[in-house]
Amino acid sequence: MFERTRFVLVDTSHPGNVGSAARAMKTMGFSDLVLVNPRDPDAARHEEAIALASGAHDVLASARIAHSLEEALTGCNFSVALSARLREFSPPFFEPRQLSAHLAADASLRAALVFGSERYGLSNEQVGKCSALVSVPANPMYSSLNLAQAVQVIAYECRLAGMGEVRSERAVGFHGERASAEQIEGMFAHLEKALIEIDFLDADNPKKLMPRLRRLFARAELEIEEVNILRGIATQLISKRQRIRKD
């Protein structure tokens, strides 16, 4: 579990928080850190980050910079948005302990834990691109966690689960290989094109159709074969519509 779990920090403002997050990760046995468009492009080597990493310099040194959330999720097949706010069209919701048990129980999951900016968190669009939503059950009168504190809480729960013999109903029975983030994004783009082609989706007035479909498919935890089936359906819809137009 420790090698297949990635921590992704999006639009981080303060280099010190990057260093503190690296320290939180290392104390719990994690090392895969990706920074998405940090305000300081050299945040991982900033003197404040190094000082607050307090010995987790190897985590900082190996941290990678990504220019988009999609790039940061490359190679992952399960992504988790961390947010204090529930969203109308969010993916399935987990408590932190439920999430960590889920990750530990399924060795095929290559997970990315996605944390937003200190100032405004994650956008609805960013949350919608993830497979699950997690919120730390903090004091409702004051639920704001520092970025590094949030990383520490989730890393701790994941460590506990990763060290134990965790099983769940999902670990029993046959499961195909889970679709990657790139494969799912490609499927959504293909499906959207097909829905526009058959006039089911108005491109100029899409309303909430695609976010609702994202939520629906996030609950399904799509496998590669299922993504391929959906793309095959989209291909046939587009092809038949175009043939009708020619006739």
Average pLDDT, the chain: 89
Q: Look at residue 176 and tell me if it is in a domain.
A: no
Q: Identify whether residues 19 and 118 lie together within a single domain.
A: yes
43 and 93 share a domain? yes
**DSSP state string for 93-154:** EE-HHHHHHHHHH-TT--EEEEE-BTTTB--HHHHHTSSEEE-----TTS-PPPHHHHHHHH
Q: Which of 171, 204, 225 is the last residue of a domain?
A: 171
DSSP reduced 3-state for 224 = helix
**Residue 78, SS3 per DSSP:** strand
Backbone φ and ψ for 119, nearest 5 degrees, come out as: -85, -40
Residues 156 and 192 in one domain: no
Which residues span the domain enclosing 190?
181-246
Tokens of 178: 């889970």
- Given a cut of 80, whether residue 68 has pLDDT beyond it is yes
Per the structure, the count of domains in the chain is 2
93-104 mean pLDDT? 91
* DSSP label of 199: T
Whether residues 25 and 101 share a domain: the answer is yes
Q: How far apart are CA 2 and CA 20, in angstroms?
A: 19
Where does a domain end: 171, 202, 231? 171
Distance CA 232, CA 141 (A): 49
The CATH code of the domain that includes 46 is: 3.40.1280.10
Give yes or no: residues 88 and 196 share one domain: no
pLDDT tens for 12-51 read 999 999 999 999 999 999 999 999 999 999 999 999 999 9
pTM exceeds 0.75 = yes
